[in-house]
Amino acid sequence: MQLEVLLLDNHVLAVAKPAGIGVVPDDSGDASLLDLAKAWLKREYDKPGEVFLGVVHRLDRPVSGVVLFARTSKAASRLSEQFRTRAAHKLYFGVTRDAPRDDQGTVEHWLSKDEDANRVRVVDERTPGAQLARTSWRVVARERDAVQLDLIAHTGRPHQLRAALASLGCPLLGDLKYGAERPLPDKSIALHAGELEVEHPTLRTPLVVRCPVPSREWWSFRARGSPH
């Protein structure tokens, strides 16, 4: 698989993650995005030995979009802190078959993670281990058989966006785990991390990385360009 590099300097590497690949190695034994990125840097710079690359955030395996890696330990520490404190800003694109009742809004609920099933469920706030999740959405376009949305996760909970749309009665296309009726042809879900903004770890200036949507029918509206 060829790595698509979105941004590179001495401190950071931003790449486009395809749907279906994990950000880090897992029990599947499949090559991860981290493996691919390290191999690319090793070839690009003819580096001997092990290449350092710090993981500062992740995307679910069936989700596509921008992933940022740190190339130094200092950058990794500073970027990780931004993600931990929610100082990093991420804009996601989503596609559903049905539209939420309103054109925009924010949903808040408490989520509990079922590790065995690898999914979350909405629970009462008094449930042990429950975490508050807050998600904003905005309908960008309504097409004949698809609704395009902008999505912002104000809290960093597992599967937060997927659970939020399911709770609104409009699961993401292909997201069988959260109520979609059928899979997408490439087994992805229609969720894409389209934009990431952080403070550069050394320059301390705004760093914005945008990632084009995949070449898939359900992303055709985004590929043509959409207003924000």
Determine the pLDDT at residue 226.
46
Q: Determine the Cα–Cα distance for residues 182 and 197; give it in Å rounded to an integer.
A: 33
- The answer to whether 18 touches 67, Cβ cutoff 8 Å, is no
pTM value is 0.94
Q: Give the containing element (helix H, strand E) for 161.
A: helix 160-167
Determine the pLDDT at residue 205.
98
Return the CATH fold of 4-224: Pseudouridine synthase (3.30.2350)
Determine the pLDDT at residue 74.
97
Maximum Cα–Cα distance across the chain: 56
- The answer to whether 180 touches 171, Cβ cutoff 8 Å, is yes
Tokens of 140: 């960008």
Low-confidence ranges of the chain (pLDDT < 50): 226-228
Annotated domain spans of the chain:
4-224
Task: To the nearest 10°, report the CA torsion of 117, 123, 129, 135.
Answer: 90
Determine the pLDDT at residue 225.
61
